[in-house]
Amino acid sequence: MKNATKMSVLFLCLSAGITLYSCSDDDKSTPTELSLYEKLGGFNKVQDPNNPNQLIEQGRLSYRSVVDSTITLIVADIVAGSQGNLGAHFAPIVAEVSSGNATNVAVLSKNLTDFFAANTGGGATNTYTGLGMVAAHDPAQNPRMGVKANNADYDKFIGYVGAAAGLNGVTDPVLIGEVVTVLESLRAPIVQE
């Protein structure tokens, strides 16, 4: 009987060891977590609504759509004179647009789209070559920035991004949480006042 018990215990130990080994983290068949870029559509090519004869990665299109909607919401509040709008920050660009020059709005859209696509898993097809976050948000280093931001300004900006995401069909709270995490990781270099 003792031998049978010892054999049973040995069998259980071997079974447990084999099970633990087969379920270890070294198992190459475990799927990896998708990047934020991939969750927003990834590398799948779709027709670019702004350039019908061109294709664009769905992830990049998602970012560009939210960026453009964010810019539109900010400008709408500036034009309406809404309380707490970000007009002082975007005054140089708004002045240009008011005189008929939208060049720097297009540059702003491209830079923001490049930045987020490149830094959230957009791979080699998405690169950012603009200013670093500190320089980009310091009027002394970037003449397109009107004033330095404080925490309330940045909170307002995050609110605009959230509203723009919703306007573009991004409503999953987990996904929005990931976007907010990315934005919060940028607070320190952007908030300079």
Question: Tens of pLDDT along 16-60?
Answer: 333 333 344 444 545 689 999 999 999 999 999 999 999 999 999
Q: What residues contact residue 134 under an 8 Å CB cut-off, 6+ apart?
A: 141, 189, 192
For residues 59 and 53, give the distance between their C-alpha atoms in angstroms, rounded to a whole number: 18
Q: Are 94 and 75 in contact (CB under 8 A)?
A: yes
What are residue 52's phi and psi, to 5 degrees?
Answer: -55, -20
What's the confidence (pLDDT) of residue 22?
A: 39
Q: Where are the alpha helices (DSSP H) in the chain?
A: 2-22, 36-39, 58-80, 87-98, 103-119, 133-136, 151-167, 173-185, 187-190
The distance in angstroms from the start CA to the end CA of the chain is 79
For residues 171 and 125, give the distance between their C-alpha atoms in angstroms, rounded to a whole number: 26
What's the confidence (pLDDT) of residue 60?
A: 98
Q: Are 71 and 108 in contact (CB under 8 A)?
A: yes
- In the three-class reduction of DSSP (H, G, I as helix; E, B as strand; rest coil), residue 54 is classed as strand
Distances (CA, A) of 64 to 142, 165, 190, 193: 22, 11, 20, 28
Residue 123 has pLDDT above 50, yes or no: yes
Distances (CA, A) of 23 to 9, 131, 148: 21, 45, 52
Percent of the chain's residues with pLDDT above 90: 79
pLDDT tens figures, 137-168: 999 999 999 999 999 999 999 999 999 999 99
Q: Which two tokens stand for residue 103?
A: 């060049």
Q: Are 131 and 112 in contact (CB under 8 A)?
A: no
